[in-house]
Structure 1
Amino acid sequence: MAEVPVDAVGKRVSCGGERATVRYFGPVPPTAGLWLGVEWDSPDRGKHDGSHEGVQYFTCRHPTGGSFVRPAKVSFGVDYLTAVRQAYKIDSEEVLSEEISISRKKLKWGNIKERGFESLPSVLLSRSDVSGSGADGQIRTTTPNVEWLDLSGTLLSCWEDVATISQQLDRLEGLQLSYNRLRLPPDPSALRHAFSALRVLVLNGCQLTWPQILECAPMWPQLEDLCVEENNITELQRPEGLLQSLKSLSLSSNPLVQDSVLSLSALPRLEQLNLSKTGLSVIQFEDAAPGSHTAMYAALKNLNLDHNNITEWFVVNELAKLPSLVRLSCRGNKLVSGDGNPKTANQMLIAKLEQLVVLNGCEIHADDRRGAELDYIKMFGEEWLKAGGRSQPSPQFVCEHPRYQALISKYGAPEEGELKKPEPFALKNQLLKITFVFPDDANRKPLEKKLPASMVVQKVKGLLYRLLKVPAADLRLTYTSPKMVGTEFEIDSDLKTLQFYSIEDGDQVLVRWS
């Protein structure tokens, strides 16, 4: 039988490649011998809730998250230095050129062969069986220069275990602890010294709640970058006096309570916030009138709202109240313009957000902004006139279009002939001169065709199939316009028309295939 620690309950183990936490150690009658009752990280691996023949030996979060296993089947792990030696064999050539990314930083492993473990600037022990620090002081003398440490998915069972390692790494700035199950310490402040230099911390998939994160926060006095994706974070409480040095926070893939997002404005230095895949549909700054700046999130420059449920344009008007916002990612929402064209929706975002420099990863050039703002004036010019625009537009119009008057001051009022009227089915028979280019096939010359604006993409692909002998299903189309140099637009639906995508005379369609 494998040696079982005296304090086995609460320890982390590996078994058959899976991770689990020991919840019970002892007999399970009527069978002979001793058993470990474990709660699996992946409940699909389990069989029951910790009970056997009517007796409850332990409890699980999931009704099928538990199993009984023999001690001989599990590993309680190894110490940090044993894991380092297993991962970094000095006779291994491949470690000399490896490079990894942690929190957007490129890191080199270092040349171990020449100088030994003490040369390592980063140690990567993800999915290793690290369960503790080992003998006192040996980490400090063996890997003294480690600045970045990845301990994701290990067998560490509590924050005290992590602290016994990190306190021996005086230069430690970045720590990856994703997919661990760490018990909270009784007194987090007592562990501050172990993480005094820590700047970046990644805790993805650790089944943490926001109150638990705030409870741990006193351990990280200098933290600047915190990533807590895929946790159990719902309602966000104000971090009063905590995480005050934080500049970047990622809460992606957590089911957030809408209103509680404003609680994060208590982070005075927060510059970057990732709220993608959080179910967000509304954000509102009631301390500021339309067209003015909120006192909240004063330092916020970069906001990611990808793949949420934002459908209303008033949310964008609220984002315009953020005084420092210059980068926004808003892909995968259902913000739709009147003509249903994604390109028009992006133009509206640019026009509504005066300070924006980057939208969805693309830099906004001066010509892009000018074109978007002029189009916006024309798009809503008729509505502006009806709302009494030339004298004083109605409060409702001002609320829906806070920037409109500023744009009028910048460019002048639109003339009747300039106003854009919806023409969803107009010009059906107009022929567009389109140049097809083939960026992945240098030998194929560009091809010029005249096609009706009402032609659906499916038929365009059929035409290309006849020319290229490439199945339509394998073709991927994008287009570029001389009006938006440097921007490539996706053509992502076979059932839409060329007109729907605002493809115009003289545009280029780029044809690629797998």
Structure 2
Amino acid sequence: MDPGDSSQAAQLPPIGGRVVDGNGFRATVRYVGPVCTAKEPTTPWIGVEFDDPARGKHDGAVEKPDGSSLRYFTCVNGGSGSFLKPGKFSTGISMAEALRQQYVDMNAPLLAPENLLPDAYASTSKGGKKAIEFYGESKIRRRQQVDTLDHCTLRECSISKAGELPALAEAAGAFVNVDLKANLLSDWQEVGLIASQTKLLEILSVGSNMFKTPDGVPPSLSSGACDRLRVLEITSCGITSWSQVAMLGEWAPSLEELYAADNNVSDVTAVVALPTSGNGHPSGEKGVGGFRRLIALDLSETELTSWDQVACFSALPALSTLLLNHNRVTDVDLIVSTSSSTSAAAAESDGTNPGPVSGDQVEGDAGGKHCHNDGKGGAASSGIAPPFAALSAISLSGNRIGDWGAVDRLAGLPSLRSLRFSGNPVTSGLGASESRAACIARLPKVTRVNASEVGARERADAEKLYLRVLYKDLEKAQESEDKGGQGLTKGEAEQRLAERHPRYRELWALHGDSMAFGGRGAGLGQQGGSMAAGMVQVTLISLAAVSCTVEPVKKKLPASSLTVGKLKQLCKRLFKLDTDQQVLSHRPEPGALLSTLDDDEKTLSYFCVGDGSEVLVNEIDERQQERDKERARQEEEGRLAEQLRHADALTALRRGQVAQDTASAQLAAGK
């Protein structure tokens, strides 16, 4: 067949178009033309990149008979390429045709005339046949007439274009919600044509359709056909630039929810040409254009790597929900304009701002101030809206945040009430309940963490647990350097602690009087804890197998003088468990969060064991310890082996360099 034949050329898809093979696998066209290794070198083939990488056979290159390689196209996802013959794929159908296939006309012949399915029988116990009855076909058909529906789902129907516009308008004119996920759409012009025929459209899903980058705004998108559109889902659409998303924002001025996950918008700062403040950070007062009504934005898995990119969305006036899951963001760096900071400082000086001054509020250059959290959202007191002024929910799971200071800084979001935060390096060594408690304690206004409500009791427990940890840090900082401390005075230690932990003073004011603190670190100016010199009643509870049936024992103990090691001796007598087999943990009251008593030399007051506390006695899992030791040993051996390989490679490199230098010197001497 002549590859130049016009009838055949009309059947070949364009570069960037979408096709589906005979097994239902969708692919993007990367090449159209002859292939040198084919039996008929002049026959046109199409080179495709499959959506499913496992379906591919190569990366767009073929090996010629002489052993050399010839590349016809490049795959975005490595080896997901293949060549398909004409006739072995489909370029899809129109939406109008899909509607005709999926929805039966009211006047079409019934499948079950007289409520009996033809040639369909069930065997009876006596070996006979009984006809299968099907009731309600007419009733179901009446409810499925497209001209009466407001919701239409056409997933995986191989739709690649709008089709006959009059027929589409007649069938889809009443649609409010249209789902076109996982089809063969590749051109935004076709999406605009579909939208133009659905005059009432408010919700549109075109996820998992791989779109080409348009040269400009397609004419159909500038027709005003989607002024009513409120919700747009474009997840996994092969978008490679924020400019494509911005185009959609202009197309749909009433957009309230945008779901754009699994695309690449890492160029957002360059696209919006974001002005920067004097310290080189985005000012947060300008950013992405359009989207004035946007309430929810999903940018999960969009290749974001820094808060500067996130800051491009900080001035969206209505944005209340922001999803940033599974990106590579490493920090949170909120910026407040200088005027906002000045206003907040003035409010504090005249007594209108009761919040403590955080040591983490670091003055920037002339352009702005880092809002590292005062716990009160002080920037909102200015006439200028703070960054993300309306943001009430943010999700940062699966990023690369390695410092709790980033969570502290989230308290600078004045409207924040909900946080999802898991799968970050800073939480890697913590259980789900521990990381949740850490987030709750650091964010005073949050009412929902990791999809669960935060109750008043849970908040108080989390804040007290956090305060105990801070108290131990305070004690440690005041110890002499020969004991591993820093040798600071109480005032110095408190100042440094308040700088690193913005809520320290606030939490002490809330819970300090109700907790047992003793020793030289007690207090922020107080002379010792309220119960440091007295006795505390503690309930000892055994969870060990040898004594789990023993009733809990209540004891009055001297918190300021009894060490954990001595308490273990007491537990040995009560519960018949050797001290080296004990793991003690403590909670201030039944149901509260547990903290481990992990230092035998420290007193109970060091761990804030107070009146009414419970101490739980667990048994060490020796097998787990052995497994942990073996894992640590293997990791250490792996590190040593890697160091040796590196050293050998470096030695070989140096020897090679010496040999090369010697040869060069000898050659020079010979000349």
Q: Give the residue type in structure 1 aligned to 2:302.
A: N
Q: Structure 2 CA distance, aligned partners of 1:291 and 1:393?
A: 20
Q: Structure 1 CA distance, aligned partners of 2:170 and 2:549?
A: 71
Q: Give the residue type in structure 2 aligned to 1:49.
A: G
What residue in structure 1 maps to residue 349 of structure 2?
none
What residue in structure 2 maps to residue 424 of structure 1?
none
Q: Give the residue type in structure 2 aligned to 1:278.
A: N
Which of the two has higher C-alpha Rg? 2
What residue in structure 2 maps to residue 472 of structure 1?
none
> Structure 1 390/130 Cα, relative in aligned 2: closer, same or farther at 3 Å?
same
> Structure 1 72/336 Cα, relative in aligned 2: closer, same or farther at 3 Å?
closer
What residue in structure 2 maps to residue 19 of structure 1?
26
Are 2:415 and 1:406 aligned? no
> Structure 1 346/60 Cα, relative in aligned 2: closer, same or farther at 3 Å?
closer
Once the two structures are TM-superposed, the CA of residue 505 in structure 1 deviates from its matched residue by 6.1
Once the two structures are TM-superposed, the CA of residue 264 in structure 1 deviates from its matched residue by 1.9
Once the two structures are TM-superposed, the CA of residue 235 in structure 1 deviates from its matched residue by 4.2
What residue in structure 1 maps to residue 621 of structure 2?
none
What residue in structure 2 maps to residue 471 of structure 1?
none
Once the two structures are TM-superposed, the CA of residue 212 in structure 1 deviates from its matched residue by 3.0
Once the two structures are TM-superposed, the CA of residue 47 in structure 1 deviates from its matched residue by 3.2
What residue in structure 2 maps to residue 457 of structure 1?
none
Greater mean alpha carbon deviation, residues 218-227 or residues 56-65:
56-65
Aligned with 1:131: secondary structure? strand
Q: Give the conservation status (yes or no) of the 8 Å contact 2:206–2:233.
A: yes
CA deviations 1:431-470 (Å, max 9, x no partner) are: 1399xxxxxxxxxxxxx85599xxxxxxxxxxxxxxxxxx
Aligned with 1:273: secondary structure? strand
Greater mean alpha carbon deviation, residues 256-265 or residues 295-304:
256-265
> Structure 1 189/245 Cα, relative in aligned 2: closer, same or farther at 3 Å?
farther
Greater mean alpha carbon deviation, residues 132-141 or residues 211-220:
211-220
What residue in structure 1 maps to residue 311 of structure 2?
262
Aligned with 1:367: secondary structure? helix
Are 2:152 and 1:123 aligned? yes
Aligned with 1:207: secondary structure? coil
The structure 2 residue matched to 1:225, chosen from 243, 257, 280, is 257
Aligned with 1:195: secondary structure? coil
What residue in structure 2 maps to residue 47 of structure 1?
58
What residue in structure 2 maps to residue 432 of structure 1?
543
Question: Which 5+ residue runs of structure 2 have no aligned equivalent?
Answer: 2-6, 113-138, 273-286, 336-369, 380-385, 479-487, 519-528, 533-537, 553-587, 595-612, 619-671
Once the two structures are TM-superposed, the CA of residue 19 in structure 1 deviates from its matched residue by 1.6
Q: Structure 2 CA distance, aligned partners of 1:49 and 1:420?
A: 75
Are 2:371 and 1:288 aligned? yes
The structure 2 residue matched to 1:36, chosen from 23, 33, 45, is 45
CA deviations 1:48-76 (Å, max 9, x no partner) are: 52668476655544564443322211112
Greater mean alpha carbon deviation, residues 299-308 or residues 78-87:
78-87
Q: Give the conservation status (yes or no) of the 8 Å contact 1:252–1:276.
A: yes
Once the two structures are TM-superposed, the CA of residue 349 in structure 1 deviates from its matched residue by 1.8
The structure 2 residue matched to 1:321, chosen from 412, 417, 424, is 412
Q: Structure 1 CA distance, aligned partners of 2:531 and 2:226?
A: 59
Q: Structure 1 CA distance, aligned partners of 2:550 and 2:155?
A: 56
CA deviations 1:149-181 (Å, max 9, x no partner) are: 111121222000111111110111111111112
Once the two structures are TM-superposed, the CA of residue 279 in structure 1 deviates from its matched residue by 2.6
> Structure 1 15/336 Cα, relative in aligned 2: closer, same or farther at 3 Å?
closer
Q: Structure 1 CA distance, aligned partners of 2:489 and 2:431?
A: 26
Q: How high is the sequence identity, in percent, across the aligned residues?
A: 27
Q: Give the residue type in structure 2 aligned to 1:77.
A: G
Q: Give the conservation status (yes or no) of the 8 Å contact 1:251–1:276.
A: yes
Structure 2 length normalisation: TM-score? Answer: 0.56
Greater mean alpha carbon deviation, residues 12-21 or residues 405-414:
405-414
> Structure 1 336/179 Cα, relative in aligned 2: closer, same or farther at 3 Å?
closer
Once the two structures are TM-superposed, the CA of residue 337 in structure 1 deviates from its matched residue by 11
Are 2:195 and 1:166 aligned? yes
Q: Give the conservation status (yes or no) of the 8 Å contact 1:152–1:180.
A: yes
What residue in structure 1 maps to residue 453 of structure 2?
363
Once the two structures are TM-superposed, the CA of residue 331 in structure 1 deviates from its matched residue by 2.3
> Structure 1 144/381 Cα, relative in aligned 2: closer, same or farther at 3 Å?
same
What residue in structure 1 maps to residue 582 of structure 2?
none
C-alpha root-mean-square deviation of aligned residues, in Å? 4.0
What residue in structure 2 maps to residue 197 of structure 1?
228
Once the two structures are TM-superposed, the CA of residue 6 in structure 1 deviates from its matched residue by 6.4
> Structure 1 25/309 Cα, relative in aligned 2: closer, same or farther at 3 Å?
closer
Q: Structure 2 CA distance, aligned partners of 1:337 and 1:6?
A: 54
What residue in structure 2 maps to residue 445 of structure 1?
none
The structure 2 residue matched to 1:82, chosen from 81, 97, 104, is 97
> Structure 1 74/350 Cα, relative in aligned 2: closer, same or farther at 3 Å?
same
Greater mean alpha carbon deviation, residues 155-164 or residues 209-218:
209-218
What residue in structure 2 maps to residue 137 of structure 1?
166
What residue in structure 1 maps to residue 292 of structure 2?
244
The structure 1 residue matched to 2:204, chosen from 162, 167, 175, is 175
Q: Give the residue type in structure 1 aligned to 2:334.
A: F
What residue in structure 2 maps to residue 69 of structure 1?
84
Greater mean alpha carbon deviation, residues 66-75 or residues 199-208:
66-75
Q: Structure 2 CA distance, aligned partners of 1:451 and 1:309?
A: 46
The structure 1 residue matched to 2:465, chosen from 375, 379, 388, is 375
Greater mean alpha carbon deviation, residues 327-336 or residues 245-254:
327-336
Q: Structure 1 CA distance, aligned partners of 2:197 and 2:311?
A: 38
Q: Give the conservation status (yes or no) of the 8 Å contact 1:84–1:123.
A: no
Q: Give the conservation status (yes or no) of the 8 Å contact 1:229–1:252.
A: yes
> Structure 1 150/92 Cα, relative in aligned 2: closer, same or farther at 3 Å?
farther
Are 2:441 and 1:351 aligned? yes
Are 2:305 and 1:277 aligned? no
Q: Give the conservation status (yes or no) of the 8 Å contact 1:184–1:216.
A: no
Q: Structure 2 CA distance, aligned partners of 1:188 and 1:419?
A: 70
Are 2:416 and 1:416 aligned? no
Which structure dedicates a bigger proportion of its chain to helix?
Answer: 2
What residue in structure 2 maps to residue 8 of structure 1?
13
Q: Structure 1 CA distance, aligned partners of 2:410 and 2:427?
A: 17
CA deviations 1:198-224 (Å, max 9, x no partner) are: 111111111212343224432221211
> Structure 1 316/73 Cα, relative in aligned 2: closer, same or farther at 3 Å?
same
Q: Give the residue type in structure 2 aligned to 1:14.
A: V
Once the two structures are TM-superposed, the CA of residue 266 in structure 1 deviates from its matched residue by 2.9
Aligned with 1:368: secondary structure? helix
CA deviations 1:8-47 (Å, max 9, x no partner) are: 3133211121222334444446616642323223344243
Once the two structures are TM-superposed, the CA of residue 319 in structure 1 deviates from its matched residue by 1.0
Q: Structure 2 CA distance, aligned partners of 1:262 and 1:381?
A: 35
